[in-house]
Amino acid sequence: MPIWTTTPVEMTPRLRLTGWLVVELPDSTRHLVGWNSTEGEGRVSSRIESFDPATGQAVTKTGRVYQLVGFPGAGGDALYTWSAWCRINKVSTFTDVTADVWAEMQASATRVRAPRRAKKART
Pairing outcome for strands 57-60 and 65-72: antiparallel
Its pTM stands at: 0.84
First to last CA, the chain: 69
pLDDT of residue 37: 92
What is the pLDDT at residue 68?
A: 96
Work out the number of other CB atoms within 10 angstroms of the CB of residue 95.
13
- Residue 69 is predicted with a pLDDT of 95
Closest among 91, 5, 90, 17 to 60, alpha carbons compared: 17
Q: Per-10-residue mean pLDDT for the chain, 123 residues long?
A: 76 93 97 93 95 96 96 90 94 96 90 58 59
